[in-house]
Amino acid sequence: MDNNLKSGYVAVIGRPNVGKSTLVNALTGEKIAIVSNKPQTTRRRIMGVITGEDYQAVFIDTPGFFEPTSKLGGYMVGAAESALPDADIILFTTEADAKNHKGDLEILKRLRGSKTPVFLVINKIDKIPKPEILTAIEKYKNLHAFREIIPISALTGENADALLDAVRTYLPLGPRYFPGDYLTDMTERQIISEIIREKALYVLRDEIPHGIAVETTGVKQKKDSADVDAAIYCEKDSHKPIVIGKNGAVLKSIGQAARPEIERLLGVPVFLRTWVKVKKNWRDDDFMLKTLGYRR
């Protein structure tokens, strides 16, 4: 046992869409969490572990904080909240734009009085001219006693090293919680489902995505290939033909986009079969939420 080893949990929190999942992927160098330009893409806590010579940082990607309007939404906000008590460091993530976001203030209110070190991570600096980074820092720096203020671009990786260095500095002494090659708590099937959901979010029209869920129902490894079966759930009869598309075109593009990533994950050519099923109002259905893993 190495007495100088540092380790701990780093909760990544913030409003929807500020780039929390992109950040965890950038730091770990792996695609652990799916990303989309639609809010509320991440539905549960997702672990991304970085193990170095003398440290292990366990990043927890969380759903954003928002006002829930369904049982699923309630679960998501609960998942974000539950990451806070265990955290050794909190990355309060926001984005560099000129707007004042009420959501940011609500989240900072929750952190008030917490003894856990909070970093201000200002993401998406690639979108603004350099001098405006200072304006963004000014806007936030007095809203909380931030221990560190780190502007980054999760997309280009700019300053991600500085963030990781600061995290290492603040990690407490502690054991390696996971084996050195451990990357995430997601199962292979969960990752496959999320890859398919990400592509569906990308391909589908605006009103559908929040009502989509994916369940990988079978992964059959063969000698040089794998058969993967997945169900795509939508919550209304009228959504089903949209997800399938004319002559199956929409479903086909979802599958075509997902397959290469699933093949990279499994390391073999994949035969992917997808089915579209209607589960009326599944976002408020305890049984479906449990089946899909959105319940503890």
Q: Name the site residues for Mg ion (rule: CB under 5 A).
A: 20-21, 41-42
The entry of Mg ion, ligand GDP, none near residue 56 (CB within 5 to 8 angstroms by kind) is none
Residue 44 partner contact from ligand GDP, Mg ion, none using kind-dependent CB cut-offs of 5 to 8 Å: none
Return the one option of ligand GDP, Mg ion, none that residue 154 interacts with (CB less than 5 to 8 A, by type): ligand GDP
CB of 40 to ligand GDP, least distance (A): 7
Residue 24's nearest CA partner among 208, 192, 164 is 164
Q: Say if residues 22 and 35 touch (Cβ distance below 8 Å).
A: yes
Give the shortest CB-122-to-Mg ion separation in angstroms: 17
Assess 190 for contact with ligand GDP (CB under 6 A).
Answer: no
Give every CB contact of residue 186 below 8 A, 6+ residues apart in sequence: 32, 46, 47, 194
* 21: contact with ligand GDP by CB under 6 A: yes
Nearer to ligand GDP, 156 or 169 (CB): 156
Residue in the block written with tokens 């780190």: 150
Paired tokens of 90: 């909190």
Q: Write the interaction track for ligand GDP spanning residues 115-154; mark x where CB under 6 A is met and - where it is not.
A: --------xx-xx-------------------------xx
- H-helix segments, 112-223: 131-141, 160-170, 188-203
Query: Residue 104, SS3?
Result: helix
Count the neighbouring beta carbons within 10 Å of the beta carbon of residue 98.
9
Q: Which of 186, 221, 173 is nearest to 6 (CA)?
A: 173
| DSSP, res 96 | -
Instruction: Report what 155 binds from Mg ion, ligand GDP, none; CB cut-off 5-8 Å by kind.
Output: ligand GDP
- Report the SS3 class of residue 109: helix
Query: By CB under 6 A, is residue 46 in contact with ligand GDP?
Result: no
φ, ψ (nearest 5 deg) of residue 111: -85, -10
18's contact among ligand GDP, Mg ion, none, with CB below 5 to 8 A by partner kind, is ligand GDP
Q: How far is 210 from 203, CA to CA, in rounded Å?
A: 13
Q: 4 vs 37, which CB is nearer to ligand GDP?
A: 37
Which residues from 248-287 bind ligand GDP, rule CB under 6 A? none
At residue 210, the 3 state secondary structure works out as helix
Applying the rule CB under 6 A, the residues between 99 and 118 that interact with ligand GDP are none
Min dist CB 212 to ligand GDP, Å, is 15
Please report, for residues 62, 193, 234, 256, the alpha-carbon distance to residue 231 in angstroms, rounded to integers and kept in the order given: 24, 9, 10, 15
Picked from Mg ion, ligand GDP, none, the partner binding residue 64 (CB below 5 to 8 A depending on kind) is ligand GDP
Question: Around Cβ 190, how many Cβ atoms within 10 Å?
Answer: 18
Query: Please, which residue, 37 or 142, has the CB nearer to Mg ion?
Result: 37
Nearer to Mg ion, 6 or 20 (CB): 20
Position among 7, 42, 184, 190 found at the interface with ligand GDP (CB under 6 A): 42
Q: Which residues bind ligand GDP (CB under 6 A)?
A: 14, 16-22, 35-37, 41-42, 64, 123-124, 126-127, 153-155
